[in-house]
């Protein structure tokens, strides 16, 4: 698949004339002491959002590259950056609509007074120029308007079809520089697109960028598809298909457009998950009504049974170091969350609050486990530490389910279902403060989001 | 067992079922799986012996399914009566294979509900097997919460959706 073969290169050797550009781009400078770096500060910032001006990116000369005009792309890239920053909840972008356009010369010599007059503490400038061999060159700059100083300088040479990735990389550089957090915009989501009546939903495997862009349907909907997970290298998707009226885990190869069974035993297999290195898969298998968790090489082979308790042991998520697994079990009488070592040893319950706990997902940072809590007539998304402490609920709705972490462990996506005969599901995201709640745009209804890592 | 006796029993069970259903009798059936003879060759009276249509005519409108409590999968006395009637039909049609579809209501998480549907379908399968039905004639599939029969979000709808449904898949 083209989008995954994208090549975003820093300028290093390609263009000697702007070598200073490349040197800075490769070694991001340390943020000044006053840059907020901690989670606590992020929570405070969310109440008073920094105004950032994002005018359309300029172009040296309007050219058409692969049918895309450099000036139009300058506008679209600014729009993607602006939307990303807005959705993070930390910033209040203005532009590209409603702010004046900038000239190519201004990109490296901003008129700071103009942006201060718009109450912008920061301003993003950039350019889109035609490169060599049909490529595009995108420059990305962030300035502090009061200090008149440059905070970010990035350059990307890309294939025209990958222009959105340049926008995401630019937004990531801005976000990281201002928040002190790791980037997350340049990442992708696998999810289930839903359509049709509630009693006979059509559910298709689909993929998109973290902001809903570059949307693509993968399966045609003839077989019910659920619970996808992107492999860490984005080359494969493991998911459950009801192909031939059976419940089985398949690995779909995104580039080849083919899929293979993970294992075949005659029993239902479901709830698949990748290990952090993409070499192993967890899945659940029901035998005679009893469900247990198994681990198998992604290349096949003999599965290892990890749970043996009577009852339903299901789901699971690896810790980022690949040494532990968090999963759910009803062995105590209701759904609760447990951890174990990857060989199945040392199984211990970690959820003890009221209600049922399900769908645990280990943060890529390792510090938290996200879950669905059912109780009091609501399904809510929450987080707790890997030993079960510090439970915090982040959402409050009739049915929020199945959180998935952003690559930097700061944001969760999940799906929200509305009640009733016309009830529908849609994909939402919330940050760890619980304040910044947004619906993600999808062409149809959506469920079961699975967020992958930041692209290299 | 004679046909006459079985018919009388069905009538009794149907009344029981209607009584238990309160007001509304859902008519929405899950989509037929591949291989169901949905018509075409018509036998005597338009119903092909051993077909899904024949099965439904024999066991009654809701006699193809049993219902469960919240997060439960036990077979209660009412379920036993329903399954005994199904077993009688299966014994009269020894070449027929069936699928037991396990379902859950929407108030559970997706993966767990698949496991729960497996439990329910297997509970029904095991009971049919205890009545002498060869378990190799019975496929099991769980739809979890993916295929509700009742679309509302009420306790009444949920009680109709927590079910195991027997579907004829042919010979």
Instruction: Mention every residue, 6+ apart, whose C-beta is less than 8 A from residue A9.
Output: A156, A157
Cα→Cα distances A260→A361, B135, B142, Å: 25, 29, 21
pLDDT at B46: 79
Interchain contact, A289 vs B110, CB within 8 Å: no
Closest residue of chain B to A242, computed from CA coordinates = B143
Interchain contact, B147 vs A245, CB within 8 Å: no
Whether the CB of A335 is below 8 Å from some CB of chain B: the reply is: yes
B17: left (phi over 0), alpha (psi -120 to 50) or beta: alpha
Alpha carbons A239 and A221: distance in angstroms, whole number: 14
User: Can you tell me the mean pLDDT for B86-104?
Assistant: 98
pLDDT at A48: 77
Distance, C-alpha A185 to centroid of its chain: 7
pLDDT at B44: 52
pLDDT in tens, B73-82: 999 999 999 9
User: B6 to chain A, minimum CA–CA distance in Å?
Assistant: 30
CB A251 within 8 A of CB A238: yes
Whether the CB of B118 is below 8 Å from some CB of chain A: the reply is: yes
Q: What is the CATH number of the domain that holds B117?
A: 3.30.1330.60
Interchain contact, A245 vs B107, CB within 8 Å: no
Q: Which of residues 7-66 of B touch A (CB under 8 A)?
A: 28, 31, 33-34
Strand partners, B143: none
Strand arrangement, sheet containing A91-94: A91-94, A50-53, A122-130, A136-144, A149-158
Tally the domains of chain B.
1
Strand arrangement, sheet containing A324-329: A313-318, A324-329, A336-341, A348-349
Q: Residue A277: which of A45, A453, A109 has the closest Cα?
A: A453
Whether the CB of A310 is below 8 Å from some CB of chain B: the reply is: no
pTM summary value = 0.85
User: Strand ranges (DSSP E) for chain B?
Assistant: 65-67, 97-103, 138-144, 163-170
The number of beta carbons lying within 10 Å of the beta carbon of residue B30 is 18
User: Which residue matches tokens 């000239």?
Assistant: A103
pLDDT at A418: 98
Contacts of A291 in chain B (CB under 8 A): 115, 118-119
User: Residue B152 pLDDT more than 50?
Assistant: yes
pLDDT at A294: 98
Interchain contact, B108 vs A271, CB within 8 Å: no
Contacts of B111 in chain A (CB under 8 A): 227, 270-271, 284, 314-315, 359
Work out the pLDDT band at B45, boundaries 50, 70, 90.
low
The number of beta carbons lying within 10 Å of the beta carbon of residue A41 is 13
Work out the pLDDT band at B170, boundaries 50, 70, 90.
confident
Alpha carbons A404 and A384: distance in angstroms, whole number: 14
The number of beta carbons lying within 10 Å of the beta carbon of residue A260 is 11
User: Residue B4 pLDDT more than 70?
Assistant: no
CATH superfamily of A2-179: TolB, N-terminal domain (3.40.50.10070)
Among B108, B148, B153, whose Cβ lies nearest the Cβ of A199?
A: B148
Contacts of B126 in chain A (CB under 8 A): 289
Interchain contact, A291 vs B107, CB within 8 Å: no
Q: Which domain holds residue B98?
A: 3-170
- Looking at residue B136, the DSSP 8-state letter turns out to be G
User: A199 to chain B, minimum CA–CA distance in Å?
Assistant: 5
User: Residue B28 pLDDT more than 80?
Assistant: no
Q: Which of residues 388-427 of A touch B (CB under 8 A)?
A: 399, 401-402, 417, 419-421, 423
Interchain contact, B109 vs A374, CB within 8 Å: yes
Whether the CB of A197 is below 8 Å from some CB of chain B: the reply is: yes
Q: Which two tokens stand for residue A290?
A: 């009893």
Contacts of B114 in chain A (CB under 8 A): 247, 268, 270-271, 286, 314
Contacts of A244 in chain B (CB under 8 A): 34
Alpha carbons A402 and A280: distance in angstroms, whole number: 21
Q: Which of residues 145-164 of B touch A (CB under 8 A)?
A: 146-149, 151-153
pLDDT at A165: 97
Alpha carbons B100 and B122: distance in angstroms, whole number: 8
Strands A50-53 and A91-94: parallel
Q: What is this model's ipTM?
A: 0.88
User: Residue B91 pLDDT more than 80?
Assistant: yes
Considering chain B, what percentage of its residues have pLDDT values greater than 70? Answer: 74
Interchain contact, A289 vs B122, CB within 8 Å: yes
Work out the pLDDT band at B171, boundaries 50, 70, 90.
confident
Q: Which of residues 138-157 of A touch B (CB under 8 A)?
A: none
CATH classification code of A188-451:
2.120.10.30
Contacts of B118 in chain A (CB under 8 A): 268, 286, 289, 291
Interchain contact, A200 vs B152, CB within 8 Å: no
Alpha carbons A224 and A205: distance in angstroms, whole number: 9
Alpha carbons A70 and A78: distance in angstroms, whole number: 12
Counting as low any pLDDT under 70, the low residues of chain A are 1-47
Residue spans per domain, chain A: 2-179, 188-451
Q: Is B116 helix (H, G, I), strand (E, B) or coil?
A: helix
Q: Which DSSP helix (H) or strand (E) runs through B13?
A: helix B3-20
Interchain contact, A401 vs B122, CB within 8 Å: no
């Amino acid at each position: 698949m083209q989008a995954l073969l994208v090549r975003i290169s820093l300028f290093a050797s390609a263009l000697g004339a702007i070598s200073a550009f490349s040197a800075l781009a490769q070694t991001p400078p340390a943020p000044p002491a006053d840059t907020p770096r901690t989670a606590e500060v992020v929570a405070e910032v969310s109440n008073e959002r920094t105004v950032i001006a994002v005018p359309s990116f300029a172009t040296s000369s309007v050219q058409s590259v692969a049918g895309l005009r450099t000036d139009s792309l300058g506008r679209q890239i600014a729009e993607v950056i602006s939307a990303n920053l807005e959705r993070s909840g930390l910033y209040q972008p203005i532009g590209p609509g409603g702010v004046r356009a900038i000239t190519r010369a201004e990109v490296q010599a901003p008129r700071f007074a103009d942006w201060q007059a718009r109450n912008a503490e920061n301003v993003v400038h950039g350019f889109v120029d035609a490169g060599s061999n049909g490529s595009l060159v995108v420059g990305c700059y962030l300035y502090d308007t009061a200090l008149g100083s440059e905070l970010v300088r990035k350059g990307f040479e890309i294939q025209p079809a990958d222009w959105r990735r340049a926008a995401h990389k630019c937004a990531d550089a801005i976000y990281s520089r201002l928040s002190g957090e790791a980037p997350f915009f340049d990442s992708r989501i696998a999810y289930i697109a839903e359509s049709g009546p509630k009693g006979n939903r059509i559910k298709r495997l689909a993929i998109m960028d973290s902001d809903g862009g570059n949307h693509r349907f993968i399966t045609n909907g003839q077989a019910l598809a659920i619970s996808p997970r992107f492999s860490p290298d984005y080359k494969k998707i493991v998911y459950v298909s009801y192909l031939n009226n059976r419940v089985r885990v398949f690995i779909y190869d995104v580039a080849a457009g083919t899929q293979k069974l993970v294992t075949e035993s005659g029993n239902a297999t479901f709830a698949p998950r990748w290990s952090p290195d993409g070499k192993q898969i967890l899945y659940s298998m029901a035998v005679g009504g009893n469900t247990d968790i198994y681990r198998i090489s992604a290349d096949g082979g003999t599965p290892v049974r990890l749970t043996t308790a009577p009852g339903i042991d299901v789901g699971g998520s690896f810790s980022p170091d690949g040494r532990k697994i968090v999963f759910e079990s009803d062995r105590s009488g209701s759904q609760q969350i447990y951890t174990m070592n990857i060989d199945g040893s040392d199984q211990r319950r970690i959820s003890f609050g009221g209600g049922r706990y399900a769908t645990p997902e280990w943060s890529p940072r390792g510090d938290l486990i996200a879950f669905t809590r059912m109780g009091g007539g609501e399904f809510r998304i929450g987080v707790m530490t890997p030993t079960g402490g510090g439970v915090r609920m982040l959402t409050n709705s009739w049915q929020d389910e199945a959180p998935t972490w952003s690559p930097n462990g700061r944001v969760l996506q999940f799906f929200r279902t509305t009640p009733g005969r016309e009830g529908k599901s849609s994909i939402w995201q919330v940050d760890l403060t619980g304040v910044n709640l947004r619906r993600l745009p999808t062409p149809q209804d959506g469920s079961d989001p699975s967020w992958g890592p930041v692209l290299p | 067992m004679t046909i006459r006796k079985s018919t009388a029993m069905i009538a009794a069970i149907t009344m029981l079922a209607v009584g238990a259903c309160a007001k509304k009798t859902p008519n929405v059936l899950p989509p037929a799986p591949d291989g169901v003879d949905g018509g075409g060759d018509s036998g005597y009276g338009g119903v092909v012996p051993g077909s899904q249509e024949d099965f439904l005519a024999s066991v009654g409108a809701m006699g193809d399914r049993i219902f469960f409590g919240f997060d439960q999968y036990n077979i209660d006395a009412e379920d036993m009566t329903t399954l005994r009637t199904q077993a009688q039909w299966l014994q009269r049609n020894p070449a027929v294979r069936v699928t037991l579809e396990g379902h859950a209501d929407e108030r559970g998480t997706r993966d767990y509900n698949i496991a729960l549907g497996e439990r329910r379908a297997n509970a029904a399968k095991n009971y049919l097997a205890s009545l002498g039905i060869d378990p190799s004639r019975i496929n099991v599939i769980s739809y979890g919460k993916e295929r509700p029969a009742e679309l509302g979000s009420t306790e009444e709808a949920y009680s109709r959706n927590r079910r195991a449904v027997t579907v004829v898949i042919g010979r």
